[in-house]
Structures are given as C-alpha cells and as structure tokens.
Amino acid sequence: MKWAPSILCAAVGMTVVVAPVAASQTLEPGGKLLLTRGISNVEGSGGGGLTPWALITGNGTDRGVGTSAHYSYAAVADFDVESFGAAVGLYDRLELSWSQMTLDTREAGAALGLGEGYEIGQDIWGAKLRIAGDAVYGQDTWLPQIAVGLQYKTSDRGDLVKALGAQEDEGIDVYASATKLFLSESILANATLRYTSANQTGLLGFMGDTEMELQPEVSLGYMLSRKLIVGGEYRFKPDNLAFAQEDDYFDVFGAYALNKNLTLTAGYVDLGSIATFENQRGLYLSAQIGF
C-alpha cells in the first residue's frame, strides 16, 4: 500500500483549516520567544531531539510564517545516525516538514554481511496541527498546547528491510503531543502518544511479528536562562523484529540559543540494541537555523 496520497490529502486538509485565519491577517515576520519553536528532532518535527512537541517550528507567531532547517549527528558504539531537513510553520498553527535520516553501519556492516560502511536511509514527510492551547501565553490556565501530527516514512532499502523481517518498507506514524511551559518555574514538560509500527523509527522498515502499537514519549526540560534549556527525553519503542531486540530510546541534552536564528544542541543518547548490537550509546549534536 502506498501512503503518499493519504498524507498529501491530510496536509491539504490541515492547510484548509489555516487558510481562513491567514486570509484575515497581515503577515508579520518573527516574534516568538527564544527556544519556543523547539529544536528539531531526528524525524524533522519541531520538538526535542527524540520526540515531537506540540510547538510549531519557526519564529512566526499567529500573524506570520516561520521556517527552520536542521542537521543532527549521533555517534554511538557501532553506528552513526545522521539527520537533516527543513520545516515551515504557518501562523503558529500548521507545521509541514521533511527530513532524511541515515544509519551508517561502519564496521558493523561487515559483521552483518552488508559490507563495511553500508548505509540505510529513510525520507520522512510530516504534518502537525495545533488544535488547542498555547504553551507560552496560556500561563493562566493548566491547559497545555495540544497538537496532532503524522509522519510518512519510506525506506531506501526496501528489499533489505523485508529480508530482515519487516512487512513493509513504508509506513505512517500518527501522534498527539501536549506541551506546557511553566514560565514562573522555568520548566517545560511534554507528553506524546504515538501510534506506530516503525522498526528503529522506520530505518528497518515497518511491522513484523506485530503491527501498529501505541507508544508513549516524554520530555522534561529546565530553563537555566532564556537562552539555555537542559533536560531529558524517554521514547518507548515497539519490538517487532524476530532477529533482533529493539529497546527504548533515552537522552539528556542541553540546547543553547545563540541568537533568535541559531540554536545548538548537545547531549548523550542511549539507543539500546540495534540489529543485535547492544549498548548503542554516545554523543548527540544538532544545529538548527530558524526564521
């Protein structure tokens, strides 16, 4: 089954929701507080490094359009994970994103019979719609900012991932995120619930012994200043493939906004077991440009 028409229709439908709002407003550039567009996660959505938040990317408020681009790199024990992409935020309501994610097997590729330095990649097209609340300006209420989103993912190694036990080389993740920034306490909290069948986020295909499952993801950050936030994330994962166990993801990070356009992130990430290789832990670096 090809999912591209479905995600295109969904994105068009979301755009229709935004259009009446946009038509009555004058376009104004920028306006968001530092860090409140989120950083970019490895799948391209605005949020933390591992999980999307309900925040909409870019510096544009509800009176403007914002954009962002990112590059992320993680070096763990036996693999390198690279991600780059771009996103646009429309009137702080709708986010559209694209990201390319690559797993470099390094020497592990030879042990797996693939060849040293063999790369497995995927393209990820995303759409996210804010449906309620405001994480920043809703300080007089406990209602968080709430967004729903989807990510269409397609592997560039279809024959390989199916040989490893995946049923499909493409799939859709559907998620809902709730994000709240408690300004007086300098705390940012996020909870995401994802409906997914992705193996290693989709790098190893979709489905296997099981199909779609609900998986929670959580983030917690503390703002040391208006430019610096530190925190951690935990992402529960499905375990679909018979040949290899898949573990949950975890990270701790620090993100620093050098100015309103450039944010740098560094952290420690634990990806667990990947393709029978245990203890995949290491450093994570990311740069995001936003306008």
The CATH number that applies at residue 274 is 2.40.160.40
Residue 216: beta bridge partners?
193
The reported pLDDT for the residue numbered 12 is 42
Low-confidence spans in the chain with pLDDT less than 50: 1, 4-17, 19-24
The reported pLDDT for the residue numbered 210 is 78
**Residue 167 is part of which domain span?**
4-290
The reported pLDDT for the residue numbered 236 is 98
The reported pLDDT for the residue numbered 19 is 42
Other CB atoms within 10 A of residue 255 CB? 23
Number of domain units in the chain: 1
Each as own residue / partner, the long-range contacts of residues 3-8 (CB below 8 Å, 24 or more positions apart, any chain) are 3/152, 3/170, 3/171, 3/172, 4/152, 6/152, 6/172, 7/125, 7/127, 7/150, 7/152, 7/172
The reported pLDDT for the residue numbered 42 is 93
Question: What is the value of pTM for the model shown?
Answer: 0.90
Rounded to an integer, what distance in angstroms lies between the CA atom of residue 101 and that of residue 123?
6
Rounded to an integer, what distance in angstroms lies between the CA atom of residue 140 and that of residue 113?
58
The reported pLDDT for the residue numbered 211 is 80
The reported pLDDT for the residue numbered 21 is 44
- DSSP labels, 167-233: SBSEEEEEEEEEEEEETTTTEEEEEEEEEE-BSGGGTT-B-SSS--EEEEEEEEEEESSSSEEEEEE
